[in-house]
Amino acid sequence: MGKLLSQQLLRRGEQVVDVPTTLSHRTRWLSGQSGRKTDAHGARSVAIAAANPSRLRPAVLEDVTDTLGLLVARRWQLVAHRHQIACRVHALLPDLCPSGVERGITADVAARKLRTIRPATLTDQECRRSVLELIEQWRWIDRRVPAVEDRLRDTLAVHGTTLTDIFGIGEIGAATIIAAVGDVHRFPSRGHFAAYCGTAPLDASSGDIHRHRLSRKGNRQLTAVLHIAAVSRIRWDTPGRATHPGPGRGGLASGVRPCADGCAAEARWPDAVWCAGTLLRW
């Protein structure tokens, strides 16, 4: 009820600040009261934390950024469900077809293969019926995903972002960044933003060996978007490709480990996104 209540208060002209859960938890433990999370103790700790609003971010009314968040989440749910259905179909079809199925199967390919199968036992009939129901769900999702993506592109055009001007970041990637980050000015520096994206390399040096490894922390959706952008920029003839120490450009031949090479490639990408959010129109 926190978000709903804050939106109602903002519509009435009240001043509302966003109290992080970690701050309210720390206040509850240090207030001298019970550390248990109850309504009374929770309200008291939030009030104490909000007594100094200069250090807290003010809450704002919902805008196009929240709409992008809903569309990105909806698309992710549909795509994830479609992937689950494809895996189930891929696991059931070999029980009906001795030759198996190829990789990258689609709903139409599975339906054509299913038409050639004549079940001989009751178990085969039930298996075929299960695959048929999964294909129907698969096609239902295939019809919904393009509609969600069209609404997402229209909303992104209303937002007016310039993230799509960066090579390697498409409309889906830009919407994911905007929905996950929100206001980029809430990060004190580029390093904080890179840590939130999960692309800041971690020091894994030992003795005289100095090396870094990829971080497993941060927002994994942002990490995936920036990884795709980095790979796309390296694959095509772009200015970022000249600075990438890959094979034939002084990278592997000079002894640079592939893991460290990947860390360096992804670590530079949050800077470009940070500049697009702070200097240009986010």
pLDDT digit string, tens, across residues 100-144: 777 778 899 889 888 888 888 898 899 899 999 999 999 999 999
pLDDT of residue 195: 85
42 and 70 in a single domain? The answer is: no
88 and 33 in a single domain? The answer is: no
Rounded CA separation 179/197 (Å): 13
Within 10 angstroms of residue 253's Cβ, the number of other Cβ atoms is 11
Low-confidence ranges of the chain (pLDDT < 50): 248-264, 278-282
pLDDT of residue 259: 44
pLDDT of residue 86: 92
Quote the domain boundaries for residue 45. Answer: 2-58
pLDDT of residue 25: 80
45 and 77 in a single domain? The answer is: no
142 and 213 in a single domain? The answer is: no
231 and 273 in a single domain? The answer is: yes
Structurally, the chain folds into a number of domains equal to 3
User: 97 lies in a domain?
Assistant: yes
User: 169 lies in a domain?
Assistant: no
User: 208 lies in a domain?
Assistant: yes
pLDDT of residue 280: 38
